[in-house]
Amino acid sequence: MKKLALLASLLIPTNSIAGELHNFNEIKTAIVTGKTIHIAIDFSKCSASNKGIAQPMSIGVFTPNAIAITDHIATSLTHFTLNNPSFPGKAVYEFVRYTITDDNNVNLTDQVLDAVNYTPISDKFSFNCKLETGAKIFD
């Protein structure tokens, strides 16, 4: 019985539950102490910079591996896709920048780039999200 209990305790990860970070200072502290953060955006709960942009009924999660901290927290990613709704079937890159401000807002700015030469092929657009509503950060 003791062996079974020991085996069960070894199989249950002790740090697998992600904790939600509720404000800029908690996020900054987590980053500077070496924790990995995860940014979850519920686009339906954010405001779009361009009123013509349909807010998708989707949630995106990003785990940054490089973060800059000044008076705000910034990270970005560039990814290749054939599924951009504005350019169906066309090979494009999407450059996405995340900015977390000390007033607990998360801004996501997206720029679509040509996959051949990296030139912008659309206007930038942004989603502005309130932390704990449209955006959640976990460590």
How confident is the model at residue 49, as a pLDDT?
A: 86
Q: How many helices (H) and strands (E) does the chain have?
A: 2, 10
pLDDT digits (tens, 9 = 90+) for 38-71: 999 999 999 998 776 666 678 999 999 999 999 9
Overall pTM surpassing 0.95 (yes/no): no
Sign of CA dihedral 17, 69, 105, 120: negative
- Give the pLDDT of residue 17: 62
At 7 the pLDDT is 42
Contact 114, 121 (CB under 8 A): yes
93 within 8 A of 112, measured Cβ to Cβ = yes
pLDDT at 54: 62
- pLDDT score recorded for residue 85: 87
> What residue ranges of the chain have pLDDT lower than 50?
1, 3-12, 14
Rg (CA), the chain: 18
pLDDT at 8 (0 to 100)? 45
> What is the model's pLDDT at position 50?
79
The token duo for 60 is 């995106």
- Tell me, what's the pLDDT at 5? 46
Amino acid 135: pLDDT: 98
Q: Which residues pair with 100 in a beta bridge?
A: 73, 106
Report the pLDDT value the prediction gives residue 1, as an integer from 0 to 100.
47
